[in-house]
Amino acid sequence: MTDDAAAPICLARPLLPGPDDTRTGCAAARGLDGRPLHAAALKFFWGPMDCGKSTMALQMNYNHARQGRRGLVTTRIDRSLGPQVTTRIGLAHSAIEVTDSLDLRDLVRDAWAEGVRVDYLICDEASFYNLEHVEQMAELVDNYDVDVYAFGLATDFRSCLFPAAQRLFELADEVARIQVEVLCWCGREGLLNARVVDGRVVREGEQVVIGDTMASADVRYQVLCRRHYRSGDLGPRS
Ligand SMILES: [Zn+2]
């Protein structure tokens, strides 16, 4: 006897007959985007501020869209403070704002109910999401066969993991440090995000405070190597 409760639940989008079905060869095992079903993955791309996370998120969205896949882009507390992903090199894309009450599964289910395919989610600024959102990402991958690509900071200004980032490290199928290096003023690879108030590195306060990396901001963030993060040395130009 098998235990019904242990039977896998699959809510993956049903295969609908379409002109592309003959292309796949084995329609029963593939989704509408041609990828094998149950091959979805949760991937977390992390790096310090200014390392190009949002740029990579939008590039990934573009690359997948070019291959005929359909996705949704979500964000939280983007520096533009609007429902879009913006990048420091000038790219922008409309995005769904992730609020405390937003259920990422509902986002996908509602889209499907309207006949809109969702093959993947691009979740920018994922370290600012709630833990529940990360669990929802895992469920979307496992039970809905939707790929989830999350991008975010690993650590906060105290050099401690953001809760959502920690959960992503724990749950993700794949974790990758973003390769575009951002350098400390000393030339070493930047690793940590220092919060700077009145020209000094602060190490206590709220975990999330909106700031910028521009030198003129009241609260700003500066990426430092571990050595200079620990010593609080902002360099000769600060
Ligand atoms: Zn340094």
Q: With contact defined as beta carbons under 8 Å apart, do 46 and 167 qualify?
A: no
Compare 2 and 182 and report the one with higher pLDDT. Answer: 182
Catalytic residue from among 114, 125, 132, 181: 125
Cα 105 from Cα 115, distance rounded (Å): 15
Instruction: Tell whether the model's pLDDT for residue 1 goes beyond 50.
Output: no
* φ, ψ for residue 109, nearest 5 deg: -60, -40
Q: What is the mean pLDDT of residues 153-170?
A: 96
| 125 in catalytic set | yes
Residues with CB under 5 A from ligand 1 (ion): 184, 186, 188, 225, 228
Instruction: Tell whether the model's pLDDT for residue 115 goes beyond 90.
Output: yes
Instruction: Tell whether the model's pLDDT for residue 22 goes beyond 90.
Output: no
The residues near 71 (Cβ < 8 Å, ≥ 6 apart) are 61, 64, 65, 118, 119, 120, 121, 122, 147
Question: How far, in Å, is the centroid of ligand 1 from the Cα of 234?
Answer: 8
Instruction: Tell whether the model's pLDDT for residue 78 goes beyond 70.
Output: no
For residue 19, the model assigns a pLDDT of 37
- Range with the poorest average pLDDT among 57-71, 101-115, 143-157: 57-71
Question: How far, in Å, is the centroid of ligand 1 from the Cα of 206?
Answer: 25
Report the percentage of the chain scoring pLDDT > 70.
79
Q: What is the mean pLDDT of residues 162-179?
A: 95
Q: With contact defined as beta carbons under 8 Å apart, do 238 and 197 qualify?
A: no
For residue 51, the model assigns a pLDDT of 81
pTM over 0.85: no
Mean pLDDT of the chain: 84
For residue 31, the model assigns a pLDDT of 66
Instruction: Tell whether the model's pLDDT for residue 18 goes beyond 50.
Output: no
Instruction: Tell whether the model's pLDDT for residue 16 goes beyond 50.
Output: no
197-224 pLDDT tens trace: 988 999 999 998 877 767 666 889 999 9
| Cα Rg, the chain, nearest whole Å | 20
- Range with the poorest average pLDDT among 78-82, 194-198, 229-233: 78-82
For residue 11, the model assigns a pLDDT of 64
Q: With contact defined as beta carbons under 8 Å apart, do 178 and 153 qualify?
A: no
For residue 171, the model assigns a pLDDT of 97
